């Protein structure tokens, strides 16, 4: 019916939909719904999201607005729907219009795992996409990894290089088809193709040949969605050891991929919550407890761990490969240890061909590197350990009180780097980029920052950085602030951790926090790492914490746990510490090395002090004989100490005050002398450390909600101990869920803090 029709209640509305509503089939969803309800008008994408002009009866328009959200496509995330009346318009039909420009306020949708419909086509011999490694639709497939600009149209992605065939074009232009405006849509006749280089290069069936090589103990580099993986047969100990040797990755656990949830359940306990996570559109790596009755897998997959990191196939290529291989594959990032994941074909030929025996390649460019996300589960829900594919860069929506003060660019930290762009209530975090000490990660950080600013047309009103002046992210942020002529806000490291958790959980006003990590610059200019804080999103004060203990050798103390043990024993017992700590010294190196470290501490040579919870974990690990000499990756000793403690979760903790760890060391020494099992000692330490922090919080007047943040809080045994003991004390623990507790979440906290500072300054 036209606007001038006979119905008395005929009217027109302009409806604005914001959120993740592009590249998810939202326009055809609106189109189909409007036609069902007898509406006329139009729908289009633009820089702000989706814009709808609709005419019809008031009842139909009311139902339309409700059902736009209630029946939204599976990948859509509607944040706001704004509807205003507009003059009656002479629509004769409901149509889908081409995308328009404008101010960018919509988001980039994360890459999504293969949907059930596309998977069914992949295995249907009668379907034209049977066995095709690049099938997708509006419900799944590449998004973030291929986009160059917004609006999300094919011309702005790496799929612009592939001209659609007639059959794909017909699907693409049909609003009734789930591939309507699915920008990466393709088929064997017109889309990306696969081939092998290196061993098996002449094979006509690249996937089948790759599976054969993997079964024969070879290593393959596989180009995936957001980067290359290095893969081998996870059941073949020789292949696993060889991959570690080539990759120069001595001990860090490998990620695994199995074809089905049932296949994973042969090796790990998979409850309903874990199964849902594994099979979700994000398809993350999920840390799962190893079954006692599991078929044997090489210890080298995850040495000293009681969990394995499993994921399901999340692209058609992965499904084809796992079907052909019929087993469990290692799927670790395609790089040498600590370097960024390889994304380009030429780069793979140069950097991976020596690590892998064969390269399974394709010709769809990866525009943006996106690592696999990592998640764990505790008794209260999922916890993000690394936020990347499937989650980034979906925005975190913060409360009105924490945002709306201007456009903030936050630069994050040095390790597990991310950056954050916050405008209004939308905080867009980049994917996990890596450690900026690596030149490749640093270059990637700068490139991604430039791309995001261009895509979102983002001009900051202020730039937030970590307080540590030597962080590369801090130096870059200072230079940008000076270049752009905008204020610079320096945020203490541990306050940023606190503010990050507050932001994602929507907590406003004053609260307390327990922040535990390796180290970070504190508000007083010294290195912190184990604090009780009191404050709000803008600022906080330290009201209790671990004692400041020397880090003999600085960075060397991060890699050699025995150094921390010497420093802690000397701090606790004084210069004659050997007379008090005999059982604790069994795993120390020769006297000459120990004496050298003692001299460094006594003379203050390269021995800054730090109240680091991470270094306490290293010291206790060394005392019970876990990697006392050296660790192969960050937190290796602490992770193994956690695994040792888990079976003894009911143990009572050592009792000691937070500012006197000597009592803890005496208790550990007594247990060692009595030959108490190391796992029991580990459990008593975890519970005791939690108790010391809870008691310090109570003694300082802590009440209400307590934020738990910092990288050490990714230790689930410690976090669960803290949560349980806080509740027993009448306090409410608040944990991270949406962003990592480690430095991957710092940029969100920095952005929120800077917004508060900017808002305060504007009101003066």
Instruction: Catalogue all structural domains in the chain, each as residue range(s) with its CATH number.
Output: 10-96 (3.30.70.100), 194-362 (3.90.870.40), 388-506+743-763 (3.30.420.360), 549-735 (3.30.420.40)
- pTM (2 decimals)? 0.93
The mean pLDDT value for 217-222 works out to: 98
Strands 527-535 and 540-545: antiparallel
pLDDT digits (tens, 9 = 90+) for 438-459: 888 899 999 999 989 988 889 9
Q: Which residues pair with 375 in a beta bridge?
A: 286, 384
Structure tokens given for 262: 């049932």
Peptide bond into 83 cis (omega under 30): no
C-alpha span between 517 and 743 (Å, rounded): 9
Which tokens is 155 given? 């011309």
Give the pLDDT score at 763.
59
Q: What is the mean pLDDT of residues 623-649?
A: 94
Q: What is the pLDDT of residue 4?
A: 42
- Kindly report the backbone phi and psi dihedral angles of residue 124, in degrees, each rounded to the nearest multiple of 5, phi listed first: -95, 110
How high is the mean pLDDT of the chain? 93
**CB of 748 closer than 8 Å to CB of 428:** no
pLDDT digits (tens, 9 = 90+) for 46-84: 878 899 999 999 999 999 999 999 999 988 889 889 999
To the nearest 10 degrees (0 to 180), the angle between helices 678-699 and 662-673 is 160
Higher-pLDDT residue of 579 and 503 is 503
CA distance 280 to 289: 19
The pLDDT > 70 percentage for the chain reads 97
Q: Which helix (H) or strand (E) holds 5?
A: none
Question: Over 70: is that where the pLDDT of 586 sits?
Answer: yes
From 324-338, 397-411, 503-517, the region with the lowest mean pLDDT:
397-411
Q: Report which DSSP code applies to 545.
A: E
Q: Which residue has the higher pLDDT, 318 or 406?
A: 318
449: which 2 tokens? Answer: 């920052």
Which stretch of DSSP H or E encloses residue 232?
strand 228-233
Residue 103: the pLDDT is 47
Q: Which has the higher per-residue pLDDT, 151 or 506? A: 506
Among 287-301, 350-364, 573-587, the minimum mean pLDDT is found in 573-587
- Distance CA(394)–CA(19), nearest Å, equals 9
Q: What is the mean pLDDT of residues 345-360?
A: 95
Check pLDDT > 70 for residue 270.
yes
pLDDT at 580: 82
Helix (H) / strand (E) containing 36: helix 26-36
For 465, the token pair is 């950085």
| Cα–Cα distance measured from residue 263 to residue 282, given in angstroms and rounded to the nearest whole number | 19
- Going by their DSSP bridges, the two strands 10-20 and 49-57 should be labelled as antiparallel
Token pair of 578 as six digits: 């050997």
Which string of DSSP letters, residue by residue, matches 353-409? TTT-SEEEEESS---S--PPPEEEEETTEEEEEE--TTTTTPPEEPPGGGS-S--EE
Which pLDDT band holds residue 339 (cuts at 50, 70, 90)?
A: confident
Beta pairing class for 462-466 and 408-410: parallel
Q: Reply yes or no on whether the pLDDT at 751 is more than 80.
A: yes
Q: b or e along 690-703 (b: 16 or more beta carbons within 10 Å of the residue's beta carbon)?
A: bbbbbbbbeeeebe
Cα–Cα distances in angstroms (integers) from residue 145 to residues 112, 142, 156, 367, in the given order: 10, 6, 12, 6
Tokens of 416: 């597990």
């Amino acid at each position: 019916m036209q606007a001038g029709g006979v119905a008395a209640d005929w009217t027109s509305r302009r409806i604005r939909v914001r959120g993740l509503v592009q590249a998810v089939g939202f326009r055809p969803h609106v189109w189909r719904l409007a036609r069902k309800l007898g509406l006329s008008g139009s729908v289009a994408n633009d820089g702000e999201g989706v814009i709808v002009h609709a005419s019809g009866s008031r009842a139909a328009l009311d139902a339309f607005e409700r059902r736009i959200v209630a029946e939204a496509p599976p990948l859509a995330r509607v944040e706001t729907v704004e509807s205003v009346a507009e003059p009656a318009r002479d629509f004769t039909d409901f149509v889908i219009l081409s995308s328009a420009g404008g101010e960018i306020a919509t988001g980039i949708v994360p890459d999504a795992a293969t949907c059930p419909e596309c998977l069914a086509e992949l295995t249907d011999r009668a379907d034209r996409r049977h066995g095709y490694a690049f099938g997708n639709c509006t419900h799944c497939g590449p998004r973030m990894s291929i986009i160059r600009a917004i609006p999300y149209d094919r011309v702005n992605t790496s799929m612009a290089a592939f001209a659609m065939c007639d059959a794909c074009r017909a699907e693409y232009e049909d609003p009734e088809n789930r591939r309507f405006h699915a920008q990466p849509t393709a088929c064997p006749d017109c889309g990306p193709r696969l081939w092998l280089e290196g061993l098996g290069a002449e094979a006509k069936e690249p996937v089948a040949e790759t599976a054969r090589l993997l079964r024969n103990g070879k290593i393959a580099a596989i180009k995936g969605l957001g980067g290359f993986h290095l893969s081998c047969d996870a059941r073949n100990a020789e292949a696993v050891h060889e991959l570690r040797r080539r990759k120069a990755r001595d001990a860090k656990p490998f990620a695994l991929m199995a074809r089905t949830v049932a296949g994973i359940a042969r090796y790990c306990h998979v409850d309903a919550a874990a199964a849902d996570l594994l099979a979700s559109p994000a398809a993350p790596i999920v840390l799962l407890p190893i079954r006692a009755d599991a078929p044997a897998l090489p210890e080298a997959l995850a040495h000293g761990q009681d969990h394995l990191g499993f994921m399901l196939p999340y692209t058609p290529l992965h499904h084809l490969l796992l079907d052909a291989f019929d087993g469990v594959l290692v799927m670790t990032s395609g790089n040498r240890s600590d370097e960024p994941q390889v994304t380009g074909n030429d780069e793979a030929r140069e950097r991976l061909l020596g690590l892998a025996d064969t390269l399974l390649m394709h010709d769809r460019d990866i525009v943006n590197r996106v690592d696999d996300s990592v998640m764990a589960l505790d008794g209260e829900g999922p916890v993000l350990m690394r936020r990347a594919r499937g989650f980034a860069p979906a925005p975190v929506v913060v409360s009105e009180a924490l945002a709306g003060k201007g456009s903030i660019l936050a630069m994050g930290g040095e390790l597990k780097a991310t950056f954050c762009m916050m405008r209004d209530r939308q905080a867009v975090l980049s994917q996990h980029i890596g450690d900026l000490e690596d030149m490749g990660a640093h270059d990637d950080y700068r490139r991604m920052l430039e791309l995001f600013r261009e895509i979102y047309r983002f001009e900051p009103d202020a730039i937030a950085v970590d307080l540590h002046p030597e962080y590369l992210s801090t130096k870059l942020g200072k230079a940008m602030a000076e270049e752009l002529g905008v204020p610079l806000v320096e945020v203490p490291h541990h306050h940023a951790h606190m503010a990050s958790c507050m932001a994602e959980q929507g907590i406003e006003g004053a609260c307390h926090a327990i922040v535990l990590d390796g180290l970070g610059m504190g508000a007083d200019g010294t290195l912190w790492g184990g604090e009780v804080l009191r404050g709000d999103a803008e600022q906080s004060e330290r009201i209790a914490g671990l004692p400041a203990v020397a880090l003999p050798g600085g960075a060397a103390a991060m890699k050699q746990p025995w150094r921390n043990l010497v420093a802690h024993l000397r701090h606790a017992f004084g210069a004659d510490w050997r007379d008090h700590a005999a059982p604790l010294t069994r795993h120390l190196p020769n006297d000459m090395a120990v004496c050298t470290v003692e001299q460094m501490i006594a003379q203050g040579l390269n021995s800054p002090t730090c109240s680091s919870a991470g270094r306490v974990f290293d010291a206790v690990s060394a005392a019970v004989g876990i990697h006392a000499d050296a660790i192969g990756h960050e937190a290796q000793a602490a992770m193994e100490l956690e695994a040792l403690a888990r079976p003894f979760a009911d143990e009572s903790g050592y009792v000691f005050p937070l500012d006197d760890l000597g009592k803890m060391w005496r208790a550990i020494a007594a247990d060692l002398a009595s030959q108490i099992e190391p796992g029991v000692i580990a459990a008593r330490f975890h519970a005791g450390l939690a108790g010391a922090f809870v008691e310090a919080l109570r003694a300082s007047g802590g009440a209400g909600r307590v934020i738990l943040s910092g990288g050490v809080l990714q230790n689930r045994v410690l976090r669960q101990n803290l949560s349980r003991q806080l509740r027993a004390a009448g306090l409410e623990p608040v944990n991270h869920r949406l962003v990592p507790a480690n430095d991957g979440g710092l940029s969100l906290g920095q952005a929120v803090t800077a917004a508060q500072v900017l808002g305060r300054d504007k009101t003066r």
